[in-house]
């Protein structure tokens, strides 16, 4: 499925057309390069990205401008909890930042048929990753859902002191704030 985002204002008409789609195995190398250019994201092996494109294509998103990959989300539905989508990585090329690409990819992802039973999203974020915190707070607002977080993978306990603590962020249940107010 491919979704074209159509600009609404004169200013936006000058912006390039963004296309969102599921990845395919041929995208693996380009996605690996995109992730490498988007520090502080962890580099996975190119093979890992190839497997994500092949085995998890339904729950991953590629964003393209002029047939060039400028955005990527890797995600999967938790095997033990089919109502939860776990977002592994979000990457947006520098030239596509400020266009809302990451939020558009998230919204595209949760609207797919494979996510029909998904009622919440989880991800992990380090304390200093302001861009990710802003993205998932905006997504929670858009989904009318609460956002909660707790330390999950602890710097010294899980990373041997070599990586900042990762906070488990939970957005959902979607629409929960609206139904709680009713």
The pair of structure tokens assigned to 68 is 């060039």
25-76 confidence digits (pLDDT tens): 999 999 999 999 987 788 889 999 999 999 999 999 999 999 999 999 999 9
91-105 confidence digits (pLDDT tens): 999 999 999 999 999
Domains plus CATH for the chain?
Answer: 1-76+88-117 (3.40.630.30), 119-182 (3.40.630.30)
118-166 confidence digits (pLDDT tens): 999 999 999 999 999 999 999 999 999 999 999 999 989 999 999 999 9
pLDDT at residue 179, rounded to an integer? 54
pLDDT at residue 29, rounded to an integer? 93
What is the residue-wise DSSP string for 129-172? Answer: -HHHHHHHHHHHHHTT--EEEEEEE-HHHHSTTSSPPEEEEEEE
Give yes or no for residue 2 having a pLDDT over 50: no
pLDDT at residue 41, rounded to an integer? 81
């Amino acid at each position: 499925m491919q979704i074209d985002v159509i600009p609404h204002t004169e200013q936006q008409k000058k912006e390039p057309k963004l296309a969102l789609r599921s990845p395919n195995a041929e995208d693996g190398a380009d996605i690996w390069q995109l992730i490498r250019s988007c520090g502080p994201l962890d580099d996975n092996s190119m093979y890992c990205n190839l497997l994500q494109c092949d085995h998890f294509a339904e729950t991953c998103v590629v964003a393209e401008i002029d047939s060039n990959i400028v955005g990527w989300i890797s995600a999967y539905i938790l095997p033990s909890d089919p109502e939860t989508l776990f977002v592994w990585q979000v990457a947006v090329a520098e030239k596509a930042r400020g266009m809302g690409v990451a939020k558009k990819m998230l919204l595209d992802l949760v609207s797919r048929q494979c996510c029909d039973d998904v009622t919440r999203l989880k991800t992990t974020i380090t304390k200093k990753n302001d861009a990710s915190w802003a993205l998932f707070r905006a997504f929670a607002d858009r989904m009318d859902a609460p956002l909660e977080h707790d330390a999950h993978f602890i710097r010294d306990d899980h990373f041997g002191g070599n990586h900042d603590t990762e906070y488990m962020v939970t957005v959902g249940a979607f629409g929960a704030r609206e139904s709680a107010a009713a």
